[in-house]
Amino acid sequence: MTVLIEQPNLEPQFEEQNVHAQETNELVLDGGFPLPKDVSPDAFWAPEINSFGHSFRDYDAESERQKGVEEFYRLQHINQTYDFVKKMREEYKKLNKAEMGIWECCELLNEVVDDSDPDLDEPQIQHLLQSAEAIRKDYPNEDWLHLTALIHDLGKILLLPQFGELPQWAVVGDTFPLGCAFDESNIHHKYFKHNPDSNNPAYNTKNGVYNEGCGLNNVMMSWGHDDYMYMVAKENGTTLPSAGLFIIRYHSFYPLHKEGQYTHLMNEEDVENLKWLRIFNKYDLYSKSKVLIDVEKVKPYYLSLIEKYFPSKLKW
């Protein structure tokens, strides 16, 4: 079943602002993101610092945590290869690790800590609900977007023993395509020089194994929670619209949605879906806060959305 959704109502300055964000290569808060058309006084406003007192996604700030983040990207860039992703996709496509409902998985995710995230120190379910509730406030009619926010990080269960206990570099962090050159906009790009694919002539040109405009659906992305959750949703027959699946699958693809690179691999549908991903990203990034959501209070609403868009039990 296809669910039809309206295209987002973007203000004309959207393109200009993003060009600005790319040129200066710095985080532009609300200014760099499209806002909903009629902003209400209690709409979600992005804070300027995270709960550690740093700018969001500030990977250069001097702190122990930042060093850990850099080491994380060193490992990720060396170990994520085309062959590795192929193997992971084959393994996880079997969906033979567990059977459970979406809400059950939200609760399970609380056992997970994401080492790659410099902004987050709260239980994962709080991040899911904080982003979902913030986006719900600004886009009250797009219920599919609320649910997308709720489930976008569920794939992080890959870190848990029952789901293969994958290392952090195979689950979290920014994602990027394999099978073509690593664009310089990738965070800590220098570590790619130790990735075997960098020396493979089949994989180290701009297009690599792809044709221009082939569509991201045909591109091998680095393996992680994004692609895994997309696979789970899709294979279990979700009725979420294509934009929702796109957000889940590419929300960590910062070189695309923040830096505007790799666009030559997109097709027309990707271009449309990217508009929604950019909207979503603001809430993913800036809704992380110490103000906790009352889980029991909002649970009935999200259970109703889960029932609308998913079967009661999914294969994982």
Tell me the per-residue interface mask from 206 to 245 with Fe ion, x by CB under 5 A, - otherwise.
Answer: ----------------------------------------
Q: Which is nearer to Fe ion, 153 or 197 (CB)?
A: 153
Token pair in block for residue 122: 């709260």
Q: Which of the ranges 10-18, 78-86, 150-158, 304-312 carries the binding residues for Fe ion, by CB under 5 A?
A: 150-158
Q: Which of the ranges 55-63, 64-72, 148-156, 260-268 carries the binding residues for Fe ion, by CB under 5 A?
A: 148-156
Q: Which is nearer to Fe ion, 122 or 272 (CB)?
A: 122
Token pair in block for residue 224: 């992680």
Q: How far is the CB of 144 from Fe ion (least distance, A)?
A: 17
Do residues 235 and 95 make contact, with C-beta atoms less than 8 angstroms apart?
A: yes
57 is in an annotated binding site: yes
Q: Which is nearer to Fe ion, 208 or 255 (CB)?
A: 255
Among 29, 51, 48, smallest CA distance to 291 is for 51
Dist. CA 189–CA 261, nearest whole Å: 14
DSSP string, 226-242: HHHHHHHHHHTT----H
Tell me the per-residue interface mask from 152 to 171 with Fe ion, x by CB under 5 A, - otherwise.
Answer: -x------------------
Among 65, 27, 33, smallest CA distance to 48 is for 27
Dist. CA 121–CA 53, nearest whole Å: 12
Angle at 94 between CA 91 and CA 98, to 5 degrees: 105
Q: How far is the CB of 37 from Fe ion (least distance, A)?
A: 25
Dist. CA 171–CA 136, nearest whole Å: 27
152 is in an annotated binding site: yes
CA distances from 147 to 12, 69, 181, 198 (A): 27, 29, 34, 38
Q: Which is nearer to Fe ion, 153 or 270 (CB)?
A: 153
Q: Which is nearer to Fe ion, 142 or 197 (CB)?
A: 142
Tokens 């680095």 belong to residue:
222
Q: How far is the CB of 200 from Fe ion (least distance, A)?
A: 28
Q: Which is nearer to Fe ion, 227 or 270 (CB)?
A: 227
Please compute Rg for the chain using Cα positions.
19
226 is in an annotated binding site: no
Q: Which is nearer to Fe ion, 135 or 220 (CB)?
A: 135
Q: How far is the CB of 124 from Fe ion (least distance, A)?
A: 9
Give the 3-state secondary structure of residue 221.
strand
DSSP string, 103-158: HHHHHHGGG---TT-SS--S-HHHHHHHHHHHHHHH-TT-HHHHHHHHHTTGGGGG
Instruction: Tally the residues of the chain.
Output: 316
Residue 119 binds to Fe ion (criterion: CB under 5 A): no
Tokens 């979700």 belong to residue:
238
- Give the number of residues in contact with Fe ion, rule: CB under 5 A: 2
262-301 positions binding Fe ion, by CB under 5 A:
284
Q: How far is the CB of 118 from Fe ion (least distance, A)?
A: 13
Q: How far is the CB of 199 from Fe ion (least distance, A)?
A: 30
| Sites of contact with Fe ion (CB under 5 A) | 153, 284
Binding site per annotation, positions for substrate:
57, 114-116, 156, 173-174, 251-252
Binding site per annotation, positions for Fe cation:
127, 152-153, 225, 251, 284
